[in-house]
Chain A
């Protein structure tokens, strides 16, 4: 929507939660996450995504299982842990709260 670099930190901060949101719907591959983000303002690349996913896994918010594929090595198939789910719920509440705050301040 906007390319103003001022908003970059916001986008960057939100990316983590958007990833959780995407994974919450289904078990997904990295490629699925990227194609889903592709048309949004949060379009991202492997260079960003892989380190972020490993961070989320260290924080035990997501987990992955290896899925065999016909050719080539097995792929990582990501899913949300219980902790990840509660974190996502917490984020959504907080986001709604922020929204009301912003709107009320404007009055």
Chain B
């Protein structure tokens, strides 16, 4: 139990433990003495007090409103000794040595904030740009592209970010928003390290070629192609009931339905894996990528794949047209559901991992949820989600 003293730092009230108060007073008195002959003394003192207040606020939480001695010492260490040109050279060199030692202290964890300065709407993009240390224009273009690709769903995500991500108000928070450098090069380096086992060998090249082939194949299977071709066929026969188109549709509908169901299942599995263990099909996500960002990326990839599929399916019903439309749609829906059920049943009975997952569904769900909330907390998107987490 310690006596608590209330102080006023540039208009902000703080509760300090008595010994912490003594250290702070000593620091400020030293600063006053150093700035004795400085014409801007009052202003500099106010700036210093404000900086201390910002750093102190960092330690406070709803249920913790007293600053301990250690915390004050930490804050003062981060501030560094006040020095001016008038000081003795010997003092200077001693003081100059300290900052380098203290930089690790100043290494505040990087947090995601909204930054109003230079913002176009709310500051989400500027905050993300600061967080990933990229140009804000790139983030904006990406966001617009995402909004278009996801058919507007991204706008909802954006609004959610607006509500959940806190604003950077203090200098301290502005610094934390940019934090330690994070750039694409780092991610690439890490990925390279990950593959360094077979980087230079033929194996690596084969792996890469395989990957590319896979991508190309997926692109060619792309449902736009199907939809487009089909539309052309139908236009040729449009005066007659399009028998050829109906035939193609009859074959294509089950195929697309199965494909959609499989994509959906793979996506669910990927999200579950990511949230529970941070890996996707054996690939470990870089540690600097927060789980929630990876999940957003997964959602984006899923919608980029499933959206064209959905359009293709719709294109088929419309083009085969007439009273058949509803019949096709029903068949398609049933088939997709059937395939989904089949895949679920099969994986539940034949894959031990899936079986185990559902056996311990409650705990698994809890770990996943905790992982996601943790990743938010680590990036500072905490305020709204903490409340949700508490109520769950």
A→B interface (CB under 8 Å):
3, 5, 8-9, 11-12, 29-32, 34-35, 38-39, 41, 43-48, 50-51, 54-55, 57-58, 67, 69-73, 75-76
Partner of A31, one of B83, B107, B171: B171
Give the Cβ gap from B25 to chain A, nearest Cβ, in Å: 16
Partner of B169, one of A8, A48, A71: A71
Q: Which of A48, A50, A58 has the most CB of B within 10 A?
A: A50
Q: Which of B12, B81, B98, B99 has the most CB of A within 10 A?
A: B99
Q: When A50-B47, A73-B50 are in contact, do A43 and B79 touch as well, CB less than 8 Å?
A: no
Docked Cα-Cα span, A32 to B117, in Å, equals 12
- B39: interface (CB < 8 Å): yes
Q: Could you tell me the dominant secondary structure of chain A's interface residues?
A: helix
B175 near A45 with CB under 8 A, answer: no
Docked Cα-Cα span, A58 to B100, in Å, equals 28
Which A-chain residue is minimally distant from B171 (CB atoms)? A31
Q: Which of A8, A12, A29, A46 has the most CB of B within 10 A?
A: A46
B40 near A47 with CB under 8 A, answer: no
- B65: interface (CB < 8 Å): no
A47 near B172 with CB under 8 A, answer: no
A residues within 8 A CB of B12? 72
A residues within 8 A CB of B82? 47-48, 50-51
Give the 5 A-B residue pairs with the shortest CB-CB distance, closest first.
A45-B80, A47-B80, A31-B171, A31-B175, A54-B40
Docked Cα-Cα span, A30 to B174, in Å, equals 9
Docked Cα-Cα span, A69 to B123, in Å, equals 13
- B68: interface (CB < 8 Å): no
B39 near A50 with CB under 8 A, answer: no
B99 near A45 with CB under 8 A, answer: yes
A48-B99, A70-B169, A72-B54 given; name 9 further pairs at CB < 8 Å.
A9-B93, A29-B174, A30-B171, A45-B78, A46-B48, A46-B80, A69-B170, A70-B167, A72-B12
A residues within 8 A CB of B78? 45-46
Give the Cβ gap from B321 to chain A, nearest Cβ, in Å: 56
B79 near A46 with CB under 8 A, answer: yes
Q: When A39-B181, A48-B83 are in contact, do A34 and B89 touch as well, CB less than 8 Å?
A: no
B residues within 8 A CB of A29? 171, 174
Q: When A47-B79, A73-B11 are in contact, do A8 and B92 touch as well, CB less than 8 Å?
A: yes
- B69: interface (CB < 8 Å): no
Docked Cα-Cα span, A35 to B117, in Å, equals 17
A38 near B106 with CB under 8 A, answer: yes
Question: Of residues 161 to 183 in B, which have CB atoms within 8 Å of A's CB atoms?
Answer: 167, 169-172, 174-175, 178-181
